[in-house]
Structure 1
Amino acid sequence: MNPLSPTPRTTVNRGANRAVEERERLLALLADALVAHLGVVVTRDDAPHPLVLPMAFAVDVGGPDPGGTLYLHGSTGAGWLRAALASDVCVTVTELDGLVVARSAFHHSMNYRSAVVIGRARLVEDSAERAHALDLVVDHMIPGRSATLRGSTRKEMAATAVLALPLLEASMKQRAGGPVDDPEDVATGAWAGHVPLRRVSGPPVSAADSHPDVPVDVRSRAEALA
């Protein structure tokens, strides 16, 4: 696979010691994460302003775009959609893995994995690719779920836009472990360390209108991926 940071826009400068170069680790982060943030510049009343939107996403490692394809979806009537197609966009994904407790405020930190993807998104117009992308988004949230669902109607497909972003131009940073304190702070004897964090799925809760005899046919995401 191509390495990360192929351009100056995605080359890590600040905290370069935390930069990740292996594309496989980027793909592993994208497989773990559930929410991506799309950054665009939109214009309203002739005044441009930045907009960052959280959204569900999916990845097709063997997709048609360089480096693989990151899929995003939204309403065809959304104002950000036009802006996302007019110029390059930025997508970020972050997983918080822990809180770093140091002996000084300056050295408190977080353990994390974060990625930045920059590029020109394209509108997915091929019907087969659109259906595939939407299945991937559903399965990214609940693995295997798309195979149990009815097909999308023409009205639903007409109301849904799918964007594809190449994964070629991307960077990733990661921090793990405890604090890096100054020797004089260590000498005080105060406690320091880190607090691991993890996302936990609870048991499924049936909808209020679900028939009591219908079995729950989904597992938690952690169980499905185990």
Structure 2
Amino acid sequence: MTISGIPQLQRTERSLLSRYNHQTLYKRLMDWSFFLLSQSCILFLAADSTTNVEVLSTILGNLSKRSKALLLLRESLFALLGSFVLYPLLSGLLYSLQTPACAATVVGGCGVMFTGMRAILRNTQASLWSKIPSLSQSPKVAPIALPLMIGPSWLCACAPLAMQQLPFSIVCTLLCLSWLMMTITTIVLQTTNKAGSQTIIATQTILGLAVVIVGAQLLVSGLQQTFL
């Protein structure tokens, strides 16, 4: 090879290296984007607001649409604050107990799946919802954020995630994305439908099925980690 051909070879190598770096960066971005989207969807579907659609509808039945929206928006902010408090507490508890990742995933999957099944089965017993007292006015303090929006089902879905020891920035992104999905869905459902309507019942059934699927997925994943 002549001396004059060396600079051209170096430029070719730099071009190939730059292309490889861009492809690697793009692949990492796509992998992280898919991870964030999938995990935030799991937390959103496992949120207790998706399995308490009919309960929330009954509690808020006497309020106007504006009062419902304002109350749910306020409670969703409390739920966001609660998620940033409960997630580290759950992570610290699992770490202190030295819980295996497979056990946390199996138990979390069972909890989410049973919550979804409860939401589906209770739709067949309409008398249960009539016993729930409705709010006559928008109160300053309402037991909605905890546990009707963020509760046992959400904590069960967080258990496998907490075992991964993700960076704080990733955890914040996941919690905020899932909270945004939950807030929008809850406000739209509760302000556009009346208590006891067929739409509310059908919505809770569909969301309950989705929650059961998410729980079964977590359960199978935990069993695979245990035996494979």
The TM-score bracket by the shorter chain reads under 0.3
Structure number with the higher strand fraction is 1
Comparing both chains, which one has the higher relative contact order based on Cα–Cα distances under 8 Å and sequence gaps of 6 or more?
2
TM-score (norm 2): 0.23
Larger Rg: 2
Structure number with the higher helix fraction is 2
